[in-house]
Chain A
Amino acid sequence: MSEAFQIILLAVDSAIRLSVPLLFACLAGLYSERAGVVDIGLEGKMLIGAFAAGATASLVPNPWMGLLAAVLASVLFALVHGFASITQRGNQIVAGVAINVLASGLTAILGNAWFNQGGRTPQLPSGARFNEIVLPFAESARAIPVFGAIYAEVISGHSVLVYGALALVPLTWFILYRTRWGLRLRAVGENPAAVDTAGLSVTALRYSAVIMAGILCGFGGAYLAIAQSAGFITDMTAGKGFIALAALIFAKWRPVPALGACFLFGLLDAVALRIQGVSFPGIGQVPVQAIQALPYLLTVVLLAGFIGKATPPKAVGVPYLKDRS
Chain B
Amino acid sequence: MSARPAPLWLTAGVVPLVNVAVAFLAAGLVIALIGENPLEALQIMLRGALGSQYGLGYTLYYTTSFIFTGLAVAVAFHAGHFNIGGEGQALMGGLGAALVALSLPFLPWPILLPLCVLGAALAGAAWVLIPAYLQAYRGSHIVITTIMFNFLAATLLVYLLVGPMKMAGSMAPETAKFVPGATLPLMNQMAAWFGLTLTRTPLNLSFVFAILAAITVWVLIWRTRLGYAIRTVGANPDAAVYAGISPARITVIALLISGGLAGLMATNEILGVQGRLINEFTAGAGFVGIAVALMGRGHPFGIVLAALLFGVLYQGGAELAFDKPKITREMIIVIQGFVILFAGALEMMFADRIAALYQRFAGQPVSA
Listed in ascending order, the chain A residues whose CB lies under 8 Å from chain B are 38, 40, 80, 83-85, 88-95, 97-106, 108-110, 112-114, 119, 239, 242, 245-246, 249, 287, 289-290, 292-293, 296-297, 299-300, 303-305, 312
Contacts and interface: CB of A to CB of B under 8 A. Distances in A.
Main secondary structure on chain B at its contact with chain A? helix
B326 A90 contact: no
Given A300-B130, A304-B140, A113 B34 contact: yes
Contacts of A90: 344-348
Nearest to A316: B141
Contacts of B341: 80, 84, 95, 98, 102
A249 to B, nearest CB: 6
A278 to B, nearest CB: 16
Interface string B134-160: 100010110111011101100110110
B65 to A, nearest CB: 17
A312 B141 contact: yes
Q: Which of A92, A119, A304, A305 has the most CB of B within 10 A?
A: A304
A287 B337 contact: no
B148 A296 contact: yes
Main secondary structure on chain A at its contact with chain B? helix
Q: Which of A94, A95, A119 has the most CB of B within 10 A?
A: A94
A104 B333 contact: yes
B195 interface: no
Interface residues of B, number: 49
B294 A300 contact: no
Contacts of B332: 105
Contacts of B66: none
Contacts of B156: 289, 293
Given A109-B30, A304-B134, A88 B346 contact: yes
Given A91-B344, A101-B333, A104-B333, 16 more contacts: A40-B147, A84-B346, A88-B346, A88-B348, A89-B348, A90-B344, A101-B291, A104-B337, A105-B335, A110-B30, A242-B151, A249-B144, A287-B159, A293-B156, A297-B148, A300-B145
A22 to B, nearest CB: 14
B345 A94 contact: yes
B352 to A, nearest CB: 10
Contacts of A113: 34-35, 326
A290 to B, nearest CB: 7
Contacts of B344: 90-91, 94-95, 97-98
Nearest to B288: A101
Contact of B326 (A80, A112, A300): A112
B140 A109 contact: no
Nearest to A242: B147
A312 B327 CA distance: 42
Interface in B177-208: none
B277 interface: no
Contacts of A84: 341, 345-346
A102 B30 CA distance: 11
A209 to B, nearest CB: 18
Given A106-B334, A299-B148, A112 B159 contact: no
A94 to B, nearest CB: 4
A293 B151 CA distance: 7
Interface in B210-268: none
A303 B334 contact: no
Contacts of A91: 82, 344-345
B360 to A, nearest CB: 22
A315 to B, nearest CB: 14
B367 to A, nearest CB: 11
A94 B340 contact: yes
A299 B130 CA distance: 13
Contacts of A112: 326, 328, 330
Contact of A106 (B30, B290, B349): B30
